[in-house]
Structure 1
């Protein structure tokens, strides 16, 4: 997002606002601790606009701290942003504290190393996994695990573990179903193999500038390196991140909720399947591929969320091995940990049916999928030369396939 962007944050003890002007200048303002967020946040925003000689109509976007945090505080920032957006037609962006703080660490360290001329060390900041938690009181913490890296000069952020509530004395920030072995796999597959653990980071990681959280939310929203992240929405779609609410489910809750239902894929499902397939992959299967797979008797299931198809799974049994052929999740549902949950479902299914291993192929260029599979314990066992088409142009060289395997017998459950 370019132009003039306002950021609002009121989920913590101190409310803050930040403004990035069309020239790129950053202005910040904070309310004193103890002052009412509901009475101070709007004046803070108005003050920033007045200082810059701008009007509400000059805003090209509003970024909002979506949480986790105080239930009332989150509603104040979101409600104010929605009111402004309704009046001005301004798009909105929800930025969680997990995303903002991972980005703050990345920018602070990467830029400092680049300024020192250490480009190699700066590049090593890419591909880091962040384990982040915030105090949730009542002996609990809000926690999430995410990965941040540069891919083709674009900033990409991937949720490894969706936000959840964990015990304050948990050994790992990740939720209980992430065991020690799988967490180590994620760390080893993340860039230099180092994970960054941030505990209550807003008070300890922001470098010499000591910028309030709203400033990092604004910088994240305006960073041209994240132009692929199409997260701007209208006011009716903006909502806070209520981690404790059942509507903001953790991955383990999704396992038992009736809102997510697996069912056998049928010919009548193919129209919806093809919509997701063409959105999810640059080289999608054809409807004929799916029809042939159904005819051949492959294991094929669709995942529906409140009766709307959001993903599917295609695999086949070969003696005592389960071969994963296709797994896809609607892009509209990506980035929330649901892809990880789908893979865990498949692994659990394969274990229940007493398969010895799972095999799959993946493009070397599909970095997100490789990280996910490595995180779950898959190991590279080979490479198939020229397995995938590179483009519709037959003159282009085909892409190899990495063959990965997960041993199911004798290993801890994922």
Structure 2
């Protein structure tokens, strides 16, 4: 396998690395930009220097991996544009690695959960949670530092359950200093923590390592698909939580009040027993467990909503080059008409923004008047029909109406 060039410029200490494969033995070479700013003037000379240090030529590079953020806006754009330029000039594939996963990759504690927090300035942090091997338990979100305890504490048991552990492996990232400063104490001591590293920042070494894994899995990008990851337009808390004063977008003062614990989290395999049962209650011809397993294995995006410990709703969506396709959505009978479906649709809209597309599609049965009324209220409009799309019992088939909603505000 050819060498990997990795670029990380999302923080004030940018870096470049080359991961060289010597007949199956991996060798890492790296260099850092030590100045606090001005990465644009130094990144290209540093790339040439590290390539020479690795003893390779440009023709021996097979992949460019870059840190896509979140982080400093100028740094994110710089890393993305440099990676795109090299990719186009040398006709190489790209891999984007988010900053928090790069930090987690350096501190994989095996069994357990790794909580990563990076300083986002203005008393805010970028936060994400990972399991062993980089499994994403919580996608990167922006939080007011004072809100981190309210966000982490009720979700922690579900993250631990997803990886089959009752302990945390690491709390890593310089953002934990900001969290503790806002709390006025070392809040992290209240958690079952094995180790804390509150100095960690993303580095090109880990961008290269994660990039290699994704390259081997075929998860590469074309230059035009390489997009920065900004989180200033993200909403980490559910609607109900924000109504109680929680949220970091933009920074708001937390009331400190507790909510009814409506938790929005990525769907994990451990959720599937409950998901399949709710699907069975909601659909005349429900998805099977295998359908959900295949969707997660294929990398489709899926979320669950929990009220306290109860699964209250879920959805699964598939991003495509032109739109995001909502495949299935359900809310438990006891939690309907409480805005939960709207919250799930908001996640699908955000997925569209993340992928740079402006449309969400879904199918619905013409006979499902309640769903049609709900989608019409949400701004969906009929754009087509699929003949005989749904099973209807007794060997019959029912058409599907294709509905579309335009996403007006795309991420820059």
Higher RCO structure, 1 or 2 (CA under 8 Å, sep 6+): 1
The alpha-carbon distance between structure 1 residues 14 and 192, as it changes in their structure 2 partners (threshold 3 A), is same
Q: Which residue matches 1:287? A: none
Q: TM-score, normalised by structure 1?
A: 0.53
Task: Output the CA distance in 2 between the equivalents of 1:201 and 1:171.
Answer: 10
Structure 1 residue 27 displacement after superposition = 1.0
Question: 8 Å contact 1:162–1:250 — kept in the other structure?
Answer: no
From 100, 109, 124, the equivalent of 1:140 is 124
Task: Output the CA distance in 1 between the equivalents of 2:282 and 2:201.
Answer: 55
The alpha-carbon distance between structure 1 residues 26 and 325, as it changes in their structure 2 partners (threshold 3 A), is closer
Is 2:228 the counterpart of 1:240? yes
Structure 1 residue 216 displacement after superposition = 1.6
Alignment of 1:71-86 (within 5 A): 71-86=73-88
SS in structure 2 opposite 1:170?
helix
Is 2:138 the counterpart of 1:161? yes
Question: 8 Å contact 2:2–2:62 — kept in the other structure?
Answer: yes
Q: Which residue matches 1:20? A: 19
Alignment of 1:115-154 (within 5 A): 125-126=110-111, 128-149=112-133
Structure 1 residue 351 displacement after superposition = 2.6
Alignment of 1:342-381 (within 5 A): 345-346=313-314, 348-353=331-336
Task: Output the CA distance in 2 between the equivalents of 1:202 and 1:4.
Answer: 34
Task: Output the CA distance in 1 between the equivalents of 2:62 and 2:31.
Answer: 19
Alignment of 1:49-198 (within 5 A): 49-106=51-108, 125-126=110-111, 128-149=112-133, 157-172=134-149, 176=151, 180=154, 182-195=155-168, 196-198=170-172
Task: Output the CA distance in 2 between the equivalents of 1:132 and 1:99.
Answer: 8
The alpha-carbon distance between structure 1 residues 8 and 206, as it changes in their structure 2 partners (threshold 3 A), is farther
Task: Output the CA distance in 2 between the equivalents of 1:339 and 1:60.
Answer: 35
Structure 1 residue 60 displacement after superposition = 0.4
Question: 8 Å contact 1:92–1:234 — kept in the other structure?
Answer: yes
Question: 8 Å contact 1:158–1:335 — kept in the other structure?
Answer: no
The alpha-carbon distance between structure 1 residues 165 and 97, as it changes in their structure 2 partners (threshold 3 A), is same
Q: Which residue matches 2:209? A: 219
Question: 8 Å contact 1:3–1:21 — kept in the other structure?
Answer: yes
Alignment of 1:317-328 (within 5 A): 325=288, 328=292
Task: Output the CA distance in 1 between the equivalents of 2:7 and 2:20.
Answer: 15
Unaligned runs of 5+ in 1: 110-124, 150-156, 257-280, 282-299, 301-312, 355-414
Q: TM-score, normalised by structure 2?
A: 0.54
The alpha-carbon distance between structure 1 residues 325 and 52, as it changes in their structure 2 partners (threshold 3 A), is closer
Task: Output the CA distance in 2 between the equivalents of 1:167 and 1:185.
Answer: 22
The alpha-carbon distance between structure 1 residues 158 and 330, as it changes in their structure 2 partners (threshold 3 A), is same
From 21, 31, 37, the equivalent of 1:29 is 31
Q: Which residue matches 2:389? A: none
SS in structure 2 opposite 1:32?
coil
RMSD: 4.0
SS in structure 2 opposite 1:345?
strand
Structure 1 residue 162 displacement after superposition = 1.7
SS in structure 1 opposite 2:84?
helix
